[in-house]
Amino acid sequence: MGIAYKYKTGVIGSGNTQLIEILPARLAGTDKTYTLQVALDGKNFLEKPVATLQVLNNGITGETGFFPAGKEDIREIKVRYIDAATKKDIVEPEIFRGYEYHMISEYPIEKKELEGYELLSEPTIPKGDKDFIGAGREFVYEYKKTKTPDVDDKEGWQIDGTGRWYRNADGSYPASAWKQIEGEWYYFDARGYAVKNQWLQDGGQWYYFENDNKSAKGWKAIGGVYYFFDKVNSNMKVGWVNDGGTWYYMAGSGAMQTGWVNDGGTWYYMAGSGAMQTGWVNAGGTWYYMASNGVMQTGWINDGGNWYYMAGSGAMMTGWLQQGNTWYYLTGSGAMAANATISVGGHNYRFAANGAWIG
């Protein structure tokens, strides 16, 4: 049970909150009375104040009053120190956590002395004993940058405690927008920071930004999956991609495909590298033949002057094959026997030049 003690003045502070375990009276056998020693600073327990807690069969009582509290009741106070011109954090915000009914005055919310800046405005910090965190609070201190010999306000990249942003020549900065800088594309979020190590969907297209904030171009492995991004516009590609004269196929998710790919009812085979295969392909111990455009072949094919027959599945056939009233024999290599006598099962068979069995 989380218990936040409210002493007689009605103040509930961050220091006087403790997590304690209480044995309910109905299990203990009798009503129980506890005397709780309170640490107003959260560390040092004093002889006073103390509180009396009575646990009865029908609940918690006592003239001081107690409030149940759990992790779900913890809220945050954020204290920001920002540049008044750019509205960006100069240093990392201070974060204080406590229960929603903790007094704001219990927390050390104060201005900072920041090198190169002077304070322009500060928030009003509630001091009343009924000013609680509630659903959460944010207080902002605004600073103005002071001119020093080593401060350069020219156009260019800026870095602060949150990330990288870009100052335009007029002092403004891009936000929720693309910007091309020295030939590379960057995207800046609503706060004006260049995004990195993340996906972005914009205008129906997907993009990915590297650790250096640049938009990815060409091949990029993300989470163990390969993607291809346009080398000019940086958008993620789907479908067929030709890179360096080699064809690849990217799924709707953008992931590079390997193995069998069916596109519009036509089968293709992609190597482990993702490259589309042509010619003979051994997949799972079975031979297939892919045309120069990568399309899997079926029926009769001629390769190097030899005839082969590929089943409807594309698998190369061996052994006897009947086509209409004509029998053919396909050797162990798949090549059709032609103008030759072949021994099969201890019997000799003669085949014409066109491969037909003639006796």
What would the pLDDT profile of 58-101 be if each residue is shown by its tens digit?
555 554 445 555 666 677 878 889 888 888 888 888 888 766 65
Taken in order of first residue, the domains within the chain and their CATH numbers are: 4-128+135-145 (no CATH), 172-229 (2.10.270.10), 239-310 (2.10.270.10), 318-351 (2.10.270.10)
Is the alpha carbon torsion for 343, 349, 352, 356 positive or negative? negative
Average pLDDT over residues 330-346: 94
Q: What local confidence, expressed as pLDDT, does residue 182 receive? A: 93
Residue 253 has pLDDT above 70, yes or no: yes
* pLDDT value at residue 67: 54
Contacts of 23 (CB under 8 A, 6+ apart): 32, 55
pLDDT of residue 305: 95
Q: Can you give the pLDDT at residue 232?
A: 93
Selected residue with higher pLDDT from 333 and 35: 333
Q: What is the pLDDT of residue 117?
A: 87
Q: How confident is the model at residue 6 (pLDDT cuts 50, 70, 90)?
A: very low
Taking the CA of residue 59 as centre, how many other CA atoms within 13 Å lie in the half-sphere pointing to its CB?
6
Residue reference for tokens 């944010």:
138
The answer, yes or no, to whether residue 332 has pLDDT greater than 90, is: yes
Q: How confident is the model at residue 116 (pLDDT cuts 50, 70, 90)?
A: confident
Q: What is the rounded end-to-end Cα distance, in angstroms, of the chain?
A: 96
Q: How many angstroms separate the CA atoms of 43 and 66, rounded? A: 20
What's the Cα-to-Cα distance from 289 to each of 193, 233, 305, 356, rounded to whole Å?
52, 36, 15, 23
309 versus 12: the higher-pLDDT residue is: 309
Confidence band, pLDDT 50/70/90 cuts, at residue 202? very high
The model's pTM is 0.58
What does the pLDDT read at residue 27?
46
Maximum pairwise Cα distance, the chain: 116
Report percent pLDDT > 90 for the chain: 55
Q: What is the mean pLDDT of residues 160-171?
A: 90
Give the pLDDT of residue 76: 80
The rounded distance, in Å, linking the Cα atoms of 299 and 46 is: 94
Residue 238 has pLDDT above 70, yes or no: yes
pLDDT of residue 359: 83
Residue 229 · residue 220 · CB < 8 Å: yes
| pLDDT above 80 (res 250) | yes
DSSP code string of 53-105? EEEETTEEE-SS-EEEE-GGGEEEEEEEEEETTT--BSSPPEEEEEETTSBGG
Mean per-residue pLDDT, 297-313: 97
Give the DSSP per-residue string, 173-242.
Answer: ---SEEEEETTEEEEE-TTSBBP-SEEEEETTEEEEE-TTSPBP-EEEEETTEEEEE-TTT-PBP-EEEE
Q: How far apart are CA 303 and CA 54, in angstroms?
A: 95
CB-hemisphere CA count at 13 Å for 128?
5
Mean pLDDT of the chain: 82
Q: Given this model, what pLDDT does residue 354 score?
A: 95
